Amino acid sequence: MFVDVKDVIKEYPTATALRGVETGIERGMWCSIMGASGSGKSTLLNIIGGLDNPTSGAVFIDGTDITAMGEDELARFRRENIGFVFQQPHLVPYLNSVENVMLSQYFHSLTDEDEAREALKRVGLGHRLHHRPSQLSGGEQQRVTIARALINSPRLLLADEPTGNLDRENTRLILELLKKLHTEEQFTIILVTHDPFVSGWAERVLTMEDGRVIKDEPRYC
Interface ranges with other proteins (CB under 8 A): 80, 105, 108-110, 112, 115, 151-153
What 3-state class would DSSP assign to 84?
Answer: strand
Under 8 Å between Cβ of 61 and 70: no
Strands 56-61 and 3-11: antiparallel
How far is Cα 17 from Cα 8, in angstroms, rounded to an integer? 10
Cβ closest to other proteins, residue 88 vs residue 109:
109
Cβ closest to other proteins, residue 112 vs residue 203:
112
Cβ closest to other proteins, residue 7 vs residue 73:
73
Q: How far is the CB of 150 from other proteins (least distance, A)?
A: 9
Q: How far is the CB of 115 from other proteins (least distance, A)?
A: 5
How far is Cα 79 from Cα 74, in angstroms, rounded to an integer? 9
DSSP 25-49: E-TT-EEEEEE-TTSSHHHHHHHHT
Cβ closest to other proteins, residue 39 vs residue 105:
105
Q: How far is the CB of 74 from other proteins (least distance, A)?
A: 17
Q: How far is the CB of 217 from other proteins (least distance, A)?
A: 33
Q: How far is the CB of 38 from other proteins (least distance, A)?
A: 36
**Phi and psi at residue 99, to the nearest 5°:** -65, -35
Cβ closest to other proteins, residue 33 vs residue 151:
151
* Nearest CA among 21, 19, 25, 18 for reference residue 7: 21
